[in-house]
Structure 1
Amino acid sequence: MANRRLPMRKIKEVLRLRFECRLSEREIARSCQISRTTVTDYLRRATIARLNWAEAAAFGEVQLVERLFPVIHLVKEPSSIQRPVPDYEYIYDQLRAYRKFNLTLTQLWLEYKEKHPDGYQYSQFCDLYRHWRGKLDYVMRQEHRAGEKAFIDYSDGLSILDPSTGELILTQLFLAVWGASNYTYAEASLSQTLPEWIGSHRRSLEYFGCAPRVLVPDNLKSGVSKACKYEPELNPTYTDMAEHYGCAVLPARPR
């Protein structure tokens, strides 16, 4: 069932609260006792119609309906007509750059239509942009300051042969990597026990010739007794070692 149109008095109240009182959409919805989606729809229509509160207040019901709900006459167009393609990268960059100023797709569509009057209508413009954005390969980038963090973890190492038994023993590869430069120290050990863990830290810091401000270990039992997203519990020996070298320990958050 289609949504009913709001009474004209309530539509005007939505516009007044937005343009004159500067309320947020959430506050308007609560004040008018309507859904936030409805508020968004009417404000979008007002933006497309380039309607301000002074005009809306002076309009009668018929005039306001004509501005907010224009009758669209569909004309079948030849398939050969090519509409100007929106600059998706520009739209994406603008939305990111002016996010704190609440820049919206509606405003960018109005800018697009001003340049290309024969361009896509709002709904198709949004669909095309969202389709393009959905194909982006998002990568989480982390920026690190020099000397700030070293990331600590273990990986599977090479297998070594026990000459007395002929057994292949898988080693544990200790890795310490500086966040800013990716400068890396690696050594193989036979286990991930606490003595091996502390010893590998000591040798890595001796190799680097300095200590970082922060050690970021994975949640290995040797370093983190209890993994927790907010309050991890560190091994006391590991805490003492960090204090000795003047480091802080911030374990990686568990996945």
Structure 2
Amino acid sequence: MRPKYREILRLKSLGFSERNIAHSCGVSRNTVSKVTNRASELNISWPLDHGMTDSALEELLFPREKSATDRRLPDYDYVRKELLRNGVTKKLLWIEYCELCRQSGDEPLMYSQFCEYIRKDEQKRRATMHIPRKPGEQIEVDWAGDPAHIIDPDTGEITDCWLFVGVLTYSQYTFVEAFMNERTGNWIKAHVHMFEFFGGVTPMLVADNCTTAVDHKKSDWYTPVLNTTYHELAEHYNTAILPARVRRPKDKPNVEGSVGKISTWITAALRNEQFFSLAELNEAIRKKLAAYNARQFQKKECSRLSLFLGEEQPLLASLPAAPFELAEWKQATVQFNYHISVDGMYYSVPYQYIKDKVDVRATDSTIEVFYNHDRIASHRRLYGRAGQYSTVTAHMPEDHQKYLEWNGDRFRRWADQIGTNTRKVVDAVLTSGRVEQQSYRSCMGLLRLAEKHTPQRLEAACERALSYSGRPSYKSIKNLLAAMKADPEAFAAPEQEE
């Protein structure tokens, strides 16, 4: 997996510590320090040039050449993970570490030094402390454990609804909203509504390590990887998402504490009320939430609301001009006609990518196509009748672009040069379909018949075909010409009249 150099530089520009950057990007602090120091040496800063791809940035920062250091430190994350496996010992990992050093030309640590470095790293990780939060610095989010309920007015069926909870760490000002499920779409929608409720954004957001936030297929215990849509939301609101570790409630203590209080002051307080729609439930939640935020702290002479309005809200970063638009990611294969299919519509990509698999980002308004993380095409999303095409001329091979010059008037002018009967047949073909462009291939076929046979013979064939039907097809003309060639005497009279 390619290191997240771009994300490291973005978070560094926001003023995050190396520890927070490492946690957000799923890399070691050594990697963060190495990347930021190297970028400083090369005068590379965020934002990057528009054309700077991930591969180009990697090559610029760390060209592929060997570099030697005095001592190579062990990869602590890798060591901790491997020691959890049966039969793996420090001695075995040290031998493998020495082999890696030998291959890269680095000088390894002695075995006793290797063990000492690992021991010190474990001691640092076991240490805990209270970290005072600054106003406007962080939000913690999670799904509440206890569901609320709505009743189907027709069947009486009771349906569980899940509560999303967001808490500003400093003031503990809280946002709550109910959703029908815990899927990604509702997770993203909840964040958008939460930011609007707070009226701003914090630089950091600590999220639960759930499937709606973290891609567990690409993650392990030490290196969580955000879902693509969730990472896009972070970029849109210019915040850094720090996934909490599994079964580590201390990573998000405020939201964990608030979840219990929400269960008491909102969920339990509404237990004797009946709701017949999600809108009714959320209206009742908003009333209870307003009272909860306005209630005085037990050990402070203020409330969550007064602390938020007085000290935290002024320090929140402004919301972007437009709210985040939920995007759906799909994979598609470029067809031989250099188009991809998305929900029954077809969108062009450069013909050089025929048969390649591409990633598609679909929003309500836009279709974007990516290959190896580089955008190669963008279209306005099509709606309505299935089977519509959105084609960019530059995506077509040159020999295909010439067909764009053809239109109904040009086919009619060509037919006039041959004869009135040919013009009538072309008119019939052009009006045979619901869309004129669908008949261009048939008209092109007639053009090629004129090149294969004489114009006089084509005019005669069209005249005879019109005597059989008022709307002859390209295929009937083609078959008639073949018959005239095979048995010219049977068609002598029409040719003599011509």
**TM-score in terms of structure 1 length:** 0.44
Greater share of residues in helix: 2
